């Protein structure tokens, strides 16, 4: 039940060619060793990812993008660049439709993309995009305009706490947070650079600044 060289090569080349995800064919998924097959595929993907030189890839993807870019894509490009310059541990995205997370994934950052959304369908769909870790935020949205920033900060804290618990990020690391300026889709226009607290107890009270 060992994977053949051709099978491993196909998976690795898919990653190097820019695939967001890979899947097992029916005969493999229904075979006698489904768990081992997934483990081998995951190991192959990790090794293939480690062979990619990310800064030149980002520059190439950015140069191939038609100009002028819209506001959301401009912010997403900047977030990936900022993550590289800062040596950030992750990019954290507040997303309604998932569009912002997908655009950030398009530019292939070499850090996880933590996506916080109230939309369960968006959370499920985001799993298919490279590097994205979706977290469903169950709390209701405030209705008053003066509740907006508090809601944003609460969602950011929720994303940081969830990612820390899963060890996706580490205490003390820099995080690039991407958010909108008002409720709804396609309003992303803001970057924030945050620092993960070294003590989890400080997370609820930390000022959300670098």
Residue 41: the pLDDT is: 92
Domain boundaries, the chain: 5-51, 54-203
98 contacts 115 by C-beta, under 8 angstroms: yes
For the chain (210 residues), the mean pLDDT of every run of 10, in chain order, is 84 93 78 85 93 89 90 93 96 93 95 96 94 93 71 92 95 93 66 87 66
Q: Which residues contact 66 (CB under 8 A, 6 or more apart)?
A: none
Q: What is the largest CA-CA distance in the chain?
A: 60
| Confidence (pLDDT) at 106 | 95
Q: What is the structure's pLDDT at 210?
A: 45
Q: Contact 116/159 with Cβ under 8 angstroms?
A: yes
Q: Structure pTM?
A: 0.87
Read off φ and ψ for residue 148, nearest 5 degrees: -60, -55
Give pLDDT tens digits for 109-157: 999 999 999 999 999 999 999 999 999 999 887 656 667 788 888 999 9
The DSSP bridge pattern shows strands 90-94 and 174-180 to be parallel
Give CA angle at 189 (171, 49), nearest 5°: 50
* Dihedral in degrees, nearest 10, Cα atoms 90, 44, 121, 139: -40
Q: Which fold has domain 54-203?
A: Pyruvate Kinase; Chain: A, domain 1 (3.40.1380)
Give the integer Cα–Cα distance in Å for 96 and 118: 7
Q: Name every residue whose Cβ is closer than 8 Å to that of residue 68 and which is 6 or more positions away in sequence.
A: none
Cα dist from 120 to 92, 95, 96, 137, whole Å: 17, 11, 10, 9
Please state the length of the chain: 210
């Amino acid at each position: 039940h060992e994977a053949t060289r051709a099978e491993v090569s196909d998976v690795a080349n898919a990653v190097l060619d820019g695939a967001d995800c890979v899947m097992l064919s029916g005969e493999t998924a229904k075979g006698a060793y489904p768990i081992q097959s997934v483990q081998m595929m995951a190991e192959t993907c990790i090794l293939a990812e480690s062979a990619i030189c990310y800064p030149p890839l980002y520059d190439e993807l950015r140069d191939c993008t038609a100009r002028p870019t819209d506001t959301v894509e401009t912010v997403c490009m900047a977030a990936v660049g900022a993550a590289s310059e800062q040596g950030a541990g992750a990019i954290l995205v507040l997303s309604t439709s998932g569009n912002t997370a997908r655009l950030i994934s398009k530019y292939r950052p070499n850090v996880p993309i933590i996506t916080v959304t109230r939309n369960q369908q968006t959370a499920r769909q985001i799993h298919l995009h490279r590097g994205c870790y979706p977290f469903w935020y169950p709390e209701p949205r405030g209705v008053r305009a003066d509740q907006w920033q508090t809601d944003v900060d609460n969602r950011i804290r929720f994303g940081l706490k969830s990612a820390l618990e899963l060890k996706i990020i580490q205490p003390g690391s820099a995080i690039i947070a991407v958010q909108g300026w008002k409720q709804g889709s396609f309003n992303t226009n803001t970057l924030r650079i945050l620092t993960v607290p070294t003590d989890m107890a400080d997370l609820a009270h930390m000022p959300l600044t670098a």
